Chains A and B, each alone.
Chain A
Amino acid sequence: MNAKSQYWGHYLYLLPLFIVVLLMNIYPFLEGLRLSVFSENLLRPLDDHFVGFGNFVRLFTQEPLFIKTLVNSLIFTVVSVFFEYLCGLGSALLLSSRRVRMTNGLKAIVLLPWAVPIAVNALIWRFMLSPNFGFINQLLHQFGISGALTINWLNSIGLAMGVVIFVNVWRSFPFFTITLSAGLSTIPRNLYEAAEVDGAGPLRRFVHITVPGLKNISLVIVVFHLIWTFINFDVIYLLTAGGPLRSTEVLPTLLYEYAFTRFEIGYAASIGVFLFLVLSLTVGPVYTRLSSTETRS
């Protein structure tokens, strides 16, 4: 038996995995692309027809909520990831400090919000934030804040987006903490000691040793979280469902509304394809370019 036929045997072992990937990832993706160029309404299954880019034209030119949901999506994504990184880096530095004890226990506590299912997280926060009976308002009331019991966190047009971002940051930053902690542990300790001997203060050591040392891992987790947050549906849907008055409506919740309230599956798919294109054309090239720059350097 020659070497070539031996390799074929190896490839055959990969076939089941390939079939699974094909069925679970490639097929839904292609089906989404197909749907986006069809006018397909679940209530009128016999009326399906090809519309080319018609759904996209409708989205860009006729959709009254397009700009609002796009802006909301960008705000939700950028602000969330910014604070997730900030909180994650701060807590990672704290947990990596030699002065802090019981770091394993603290890491477990920090991880808790991330380990709890999103649906449970969202429900807990809904209860805690509910006016009158909620824990947060009761706490503020105990501190003597007048009118605290009537604060309607999730149904106030001015507050809802901020609260949704807060809850999202709260549940996501532990991932940054753990990942950045792992990154910090790979930076050689003797670099800090040498810098200290040379008279570098904490800030200079942070800027010149910690930041470059975390650059690669930061890039990866920030990019992935930009993607995950931009397409995040569950946190917003479970907390506000896009309300009040669309103040927290983002593209994924708009997609859901068209798919499950109006049953316009084709149009909803075009919103999904738009999300994919935005991420592919923005975050993707940035990530590739930064990665290749880093590799060269």
Chain B
Amino acid sequence: MCRTKLLILITALAVPTLSFASGAQEADSAPSSISYWNVFDPAISQDGERHVEKYDEYEENTGIEVDNDIQVYGDLRQRLIVSNQAQDGPDIQHMLGEWVYEMSQMGMLVDITERVEAWEHADSFPDSAWNVATVDGQIYGIPSVASARTLVYREDVFEENGISAPPETWEELREVARELTMDTDDDGEIDQYGFAFASSSDAIRGPQEFAVHLWSTGGNFVTEDGDGWTVGFTEDQAEQVFQFYYDLMHVDESVPPYSLGWEYQELDDAFEAGSVMMTQNGRWMRNRAERTEHGESWQTAPYPYHSEPATYLEVKVEGLNVHGTSPDAAWDFLTWLMDRDNLVYISQTDNLPARTDSSDSEYWVDDPTWTGTFVDVVPDGRSMPPISMGAIFDYSMEYVQEVLYERMEPAEAAEGFYESVESYLEQSVN
């Protein structure tokens, strides 16, 4: 009796264990699917739809299904980190460029240097893009898209107000923003604002916009010297940036007072709804332009600068996760997807493909607004440094908020920001 019970128990425990083990073995030898964690959502983006088309095409050609797991960026990053701690992860993962450093340090990414060196199309990607995917000389992913930020503005409203050209400098931006801020329905309340920016304490876009402003003063978040990393800006440069935010909000009153704490969703919604006339924005706005009544009058121009032109060149990277079960199959799929025509096909409305030969593709659309400007500003593009930037991003938004909530003067915020970055580098980076 007792033996029978014991036998049942052992069988109950052993069956799932054995089936799990055999499943894992099967995945190693001949994968029927590849897991791909990304953000390409067909529900909100045409490029997302094209991604799904390509995955289906790949399955038809090879019999390998692409298990497409879509999340928003914040969730994707957190899930990757947690999964890695649990020794789990997808075959392929999509990443923002600034994640590559921290995820490589966590041991999450496969070093694909040798695979890239043997890949015939590696030279079709610019060095600046490979640099984002490289840490200490090792390559941890393929840079799929590289897209800059520009000024996105309402040309129709500019014309209505007699403004013939987009602003080129911060001073001109402030002037135009003031002119466009008005009460359009005469109810005594301002309902149209000239400009808006992201300032959420949990922002993704906010620190990127801040970075462009800082670069535009000639500063950097951090710079590398022989022994490590040092603060890359002066307090004067930071003060100029904080003063710019303060002036727009409190002196000119040309940004919505209720925009304090906006993330990119609120910012892009406001532009689409017609309550904001200019934003610093990316090529994904083309998706919104195509579905909006006044979308045809949306225009793009290089983002206004302070002392030197600058833009954020956002490189996104596709990497192989060390916990993936089929690295060879994942690499085959990834290089197929990064083929010129495929990459251009899936990069029509969001970001620009990172390949330098993209314009030779039959799918390349030479649109001056949504392609031309974004290509033109690439020489002014900068990327984030290869260190963990999370804390510095947090500081930047914290001090922007201190200024916008009028709890600190710009000079005071600049001093605090400088000291915070310096302290972080000393304690956590160097």
Contact = CB atoms under 8 A, between A and B. Distances in A.
A131 B258 contact: yes
Contact of A261 (B12, B394, B402): B394
Contacts of B407: 245
B102 A133 contact: no
B258 A132 contact: yes
Nearest to A253: B202
A260 B1 contact: no
Contacts of B164: none
Given A241-B202, A244-B405, A151 B13 contact: no
Contacts of A9: 1-2, 5-6
Contacts of B262: 155
Contact of B200 (A5, A241, A257): A241
Nearest to A45: B107
A140 B70 CA distance: 37
A152 B13 contact: no
Interface string A118-133: 0000000000001111
Contacts of B113: none
Interface in B1-45: 1-2, 5-6, 9, 12-13
Interface string A154-179: 11110000000000000000000000
A132 B102 CA distance: 38
Given A132-B256, A241-B201, A262 B12 contact: no
A16 interface: yes
A118 to B, nearest CB: 14
A13 B394 CA distance: 51
A43 to B, nearest CB: 4
B273 interface: yes
Interface residues of B, number: 41
Interface in B48-71: none
B201 A15 contact: no
A114 interface: no
A13 B232 CA distance: 64
A42 interface: yes
Nearest to B258: A131
B258 A43 contact: no
Contact of B105 (A12, A15, A42, A131): A42
B184 interface: no
Contact of B401 (A8, A44, A131, A245): A245
A261 B391 CA distance: 6
Contacts of A44: 105
B416 to A, nearest CB: 12
A154 B261 contact: yes
Contacts of A257: 394
Interface string A8-47: 1100110110000000000000000000000001111100
Q: How large is the interface on A (under 10, 10 to 19, 20 to 34, 35 or more residues)?
A: 35 or more
Contacts of A243: 200-202, 261, 401
B81 interface: yes
B257 interface: yes
A158 B102 CA distance: 36
Nearest to B106: A42
A257 B201 CA distance: 12
A242 interface: yes
B390 interface: yes
B1 A1 contact: yes
Contact of A150 (B258, B266, B269, B401): B258
Interface string B392-404: 0010001001100
A156 B9 CA distance: 59
Interface in A222-246: 241-246
A13 B261 contact: no
Contact of A132 (B6, B270, B391, B398): B270
Contacts of B5: 9, 12-13
A149 interface: yes
Contacts of B398: 245
B120 interface: no
Interface string B244-260: 00000000000011111
Contacts of B78: 260
A87 B147 CA distance: 52
Contact of B428 (A130, A131, A147, A262): A262
B189 interface: yes
A232 B183 CA distance: 43
B335 interface: no
Contacts of A130: 266
Contacts of B270: 132
A273 B64 CA distance: 45
Given A132-B258, A132-B270, A260-B78, 20 more contacts: A1-B1, A12-B9, A41-B428, A131-B258, A132-B275, A147-B189, A151-B258, A152-B257, A154-B261, A155-B261, A241-B200, A241-B201, A243-B201, A243-B261, A244-B201, A244-B260, A245-B398, A260-B77, A262-B428, A263-B388
26 contacts: A1-B2, A6-B2, A9-B1, A9-B2, A9-B5, A12-B5, A12-B9, A16-B9, A41-B428, A43-B102, A44-B105, A132-B256, A132-B275, A147-B189, A149-B258, A152-B258, A152-B260, A152-B261, A156-B260, A242-B202, A243-B201, A244-B405, A245-B401, A245-B407, A260-B77, A260-B78
